[in-house]
Amino acid sequence: MTRWFVGGRGGPAPLRLYCFAHSGGSPAEYVRWGRGLPGVELYAVQLPGRGSRIGEPQLTSMRDIVTALVEEAGFNGPYAFFGHSFGSLLAYETACALRAAGRELPRHLVVSSAPAPQLPRRHTGLHRLDDDALLTAVQERHGGIPREVFDHPEILQMAAENLRADYTVLETYTWRPRPPLPVPLTVLAGDSEPLSEDGGRRLAAWGELTTRGPVPVRTFPGGHFYLREQQGPLVQRTVAAALGTDVTVP
C-alpha cells in the first residue's frame, strides 16, 4: 500500500474504509474495528512522526498534510472515509482535495465529534503550552488520555509532540468556501459532549457541505470518546449501515 496507511484487516473486500484518527490518536485504535465490519477492508491514516513513521518530521498545517496525502497515497475505490474529531476535519479536507485533483471521491463520509468546519472557530492557543500543560488541558477538555502517559516522561513527551502538531493544524486552520461535496454524509457524536448542546446546531451544519442530503445526526451515550464505550453499536450498526454493508452482530 503506502506509508500513509496501516491495516488492511480482513483482506480484499468490496469496500475500503479509511479512518482518520483524533488529535494525537493512534491509527491502531481504528484498525481494530475491522473485526466488526464484514465486507470492509479497513485502513487507518498514519501521519508523519507517528508509529512506523516516527523518524519523519511532523506536519503542522492542514495544507501540508492534505497535499502530501493526496499526492502520495492512492485511495482506490469503492471506498469511504471515517473521521473522529480532528480526523473529521482532515477527512473532509482530503475529500475536497481529491475532488480538486479530479480523483475518485469516497462513497460516504462519516464524521464524528467535530463541529462543521465552516462555523466560526475559537482558538485557545493550546499548541503553545508546555508538555504538561498541553496534556492537562486536553485531558480536562476531552478526556481519553491514559493515566500511564502522565507517569512516564518519555511517553508523555511523545504524546505531547503529537498533540501539539495536531492542535497547531487545528488552531491555524481556516475554512475556504467551496461547493458542497457530492458525497453522502453521516454525523455522529456523544450525547454528553458540548457539541451536542444547543440542539446539535454545530453538528447539523455539516449538512451545508454536501449535495446528498438530508444528513443524519446520531448521538450515543457518552462524551467526546463515546466511540470507545459504544464500539459495538457504533461500528457494527451505525457505520456499517451508513456504508451499506451487511453486519453480523455477535
Active site residue 85: yes
Mean pLDDT across the chain, nearest whole number? 88
Q: What is the mean pLDDT of residues 86-114?
A: 97
Could you tell me if 62 and 92 are in contact, meaning their C-beta atoms sit under 8 angstroms apart? no
- 184 vs 107: CA distance, rounded Å: 7
Q: Which of 236, 191, 193 is nearest to 217 (CA)?
A: 191
Which tens digit of pLDDT belongs to each residue from 118-164? 999 877 788 778 777 887 888 887 777 777 777 777 777 888 889 99
Instruction: Please check whether residue 217 is in contact with residue 196, taking contact to mean a CB–CB distance below 8 angstroms.
Output: no
Q: Does the N-terminal peptide bond of residue 106 adopt cis geometry, omega within 30 degrees of 0?
A: no
Q: How far is CA 111 from CA 97, 104, 117, 124, in A?
A: 17, 19, 11, 23
Backbone phi, then psi, for 188, in 5-degree steps? -125, 155
Annotation marks residue 123 as catalytic: no
Q: Is the pLDDT of residue 5 over 50?
A: yes
Percentage of the chain exceeding pLDDT 90:
59
Nearest of 242, 248, 247 to residue 17 by alpha carbon: 242
Non-local CB neighbours of 153 within 8 Å, separated by 6+ positions:
none
pLDDT of 182 reads: 98
Is the predicted pLDDT of residue 116 greater than 90, yes or no? yes
Of the residues 22, 23, 85, 108, only one is catalytic, namely 85
Instruction: Find, among 12, 17, 39, the residue nearest to 30 by Cα.
Output: 17
Sorted by where each begins, the domain ranges of the chain are 5-117+176-243, 122-172
Residue 11's pLDDT band (cuts 50, 70, 90): low
Catalytic residue among 22, 108, 127, 224: 224
- Measure the CA–CA gap between 148 and 211, rounded to whole angstroms: 45
Please report the pLDDT score of residue 102 as a whole number. Answer: 96
User: What would you report as the CA-atom Rg of the chain, rounded to the nearest whole angstrom?
Assistant: 17
For the chain, the distance separating the N- and C-terminal CA atoms, rounded to the nearest angstrom, is 31
d(CA 42, CA 30): 8
H/E stretch holding 218 reads: strand 217-220
Which amino acid is residue 74, in one-letter code? Answer: G
**Span of 121-125, 221-225, 237-241 with lowest mean pLDDT:** 121-125
Which set of grid coordinates corresponds to residue 144? 481519553
Please provide the CATH number assigned to the domain covering 5-117+176-243: 3.40.50.1820
- Residue 27 has a pLDDT of 92
Q: pLDDT value at position 10? A: 62
Angstrom distance (rounded) from CA 163 to CA 159: 6
Name the residue among 73, 99, 119, 88 with its Cα closest to residue 19: 88
**pLDDT value of residue 247:** 43
